[in-house]
Structure 1
């Protein structure tokens, strides 16, 4: 694999930055992660950190050197992160459970898979065009999908900030999994928090990423969003990856994974908070299997109501 990747975060006008981002890769698999700890609940930064640590830890265990069942891995690692956040609340005797949104992208064999809970977004771009983006798990998106609200009200509607899905809530999260995406050289994957996309339009995101390297585009977008929002700015975070495919001419900004030893993992995400994750069995948990069936049924019901695919 060969790709370039860059990430940046800005605290904006907040006292604490509750956004978290990072990536991990082996010779044959790349995992991109971004989480946005939810305001209005305690310790959103802790929830975001735990989510990244848990999912990255499970990736390191299962990417040998690639993940055998990518969609199932994304779904079950989200469930594992959700449980870890609840365990953190119990261990620390907190009055409520911290919560976070999450978006993840797993790339291997020239194919991308992604999943999300909440309103942290993923954009798949090619030649300045947005091929696909995640749909927010928010009240306003549901109303728009049902035809009850016009899309033009997306940025002004009083219920635009209400989410119905995240990690850390009392109920199990709905993990929405993408269809498989076949990547071409030059494709860009952008993961970002709502502090970015709520300020800069989709066309602006695509334009900047088409006309700049991601090393320049990411800080430009992050700083622009924070500057426009000013003192009211939310945390602004972006993680972008440009796919370059197989081996070829070396680029100083590119990462070529075939130089990694078999079994090696490179990561920007710190070690997991809880050591007993090592004893967790990702694929043989009956509770997870039941939860998966419940979530799939919920997604099917939601699709019938909202028109989501």
Structure 2
């Protein structure tokens, strides 16, 4: 596999950056991951961190060298992260459970698979055109789909920050899975938090990422979003990967996994810091416990969802 990748985050006008992002890869599979802790509830940054660590650890356990069932992995790892966030609340006797949105993407054998809960987005772009993007799990998007609200109101409607799906809520998360996407050389996968897409229109994202390398475009987009939002800016985070396939053209900015030792994993997803080991303990990933938790969550997944608000 050959690809280029770049990630960056800015705290914006907030006191705490509750966004988290990262990627991991082996010789044969890539994981892209972004989480946005929900500031309308306590310790959103912890929920985002737990989601990153849980999904990242499960990836490292199962990517040998590829993920056997990508869609199942994404669904199961989201449920496991949801369970871990609830376990954190119980361990620390918190008055409520921290919450986070999350979007993740797996790339292997020239195909991409992604999943999301909430309003952190993934865009699939080709030659400056958006082929697909995730649909926000928000009250506003539901109203737009029902024809009750015009799409032009996305940035001004009073319900634009009301979500009905996330990790950490009392009800089970609804993991929305993509169809398998066949990548071509030059295709771009772009993950971002609402601090970016709520300020910059989709056509601007596509144009900037098409006109410049991701190493230049991502910082420019983040800087533009922060400047436009000003003191009211949310945390702004983005992670972009350009797929180069298996082409052998030399370019120092392109990562080639062909030279990685078999069984090795490269990652930017941070492990638990000292003193935080109880957040994601090793025994939390016992397969029997995960399967039991997933079964319980699946039994509840069709229950009505509670709407929750992000600031």
The one of 286, 294, 298 aligned to 1:280: 286
Structure 1 residues without counterparts, runs of 5 or longer: 303-309
Distance in 1 (CA, whole Å) between partners of 2:134 and 2:107 is 16
Aligned to 1:194: 194
Aligned to 2:181: 181
Aligned to 2:295: 289
Moved more, 151-160 or 13-22: 151-160
Moved more, 279-288 or 76-85: 279-288
In the superposition, the TM-score normalised over structure 1's length comes to: 0.93
The one-character-per-residue Cα deviations of 1:182-235 (angstroms, maximum 9, x if unpaired) are: 000000000000000000000000000000000001100001100111100000
Give the drift of 1:150.
1.3
Distance in 2 (CA, whole Å) between partners of 1:42 and 1:157 is 25
Distance in 2 (CA, whole Å) between partners of 1:220 and 1:31 is 24
Q: Answer yes or no: is the 8 Å Cα contact 2:171–2:300 preserved in 1.
A: no
RMSD: 1.7
Distance in 1 (CA, whole Å) between partners of 2:123 and 2:110 is 17
Distance in 2 (CA, whole Å) between partners of 1:167 and 1:14 is 22
Q: Work out whether 1:51 is the aligned partner of 2:51.
A: yes
Aligned to 2:215: 215
Q: Answer yes or no: is the 8 Å Cα contact 2:83–2:293 preserved in 1.
A: no
- Could you list the runs of 4 or more consecutive aligned residues of structure 1 that deviate by over 6 angstroms after TM superposition? none
Distance in 2 (CA, whole Å) between partners of 1:173 and 1:123 is 21
In the superposition, the TM-score normalised over structure 2's length comes to: 0.93
Give the drift of 1:28.
0.3
Aligned to 2:267: 267
Instruction: Flag the 1:288–1:146 CA change in 2: closer, same or farther, 3 A.
Output: same
Total equivalences in the alignment? 299
Q: Answer yes or no: is the 8 Å Cα contact 1:247–1:256 preserved in 2.
A: no
Structure 2 residues without counterparts, runs of 5 or longer: 306-311
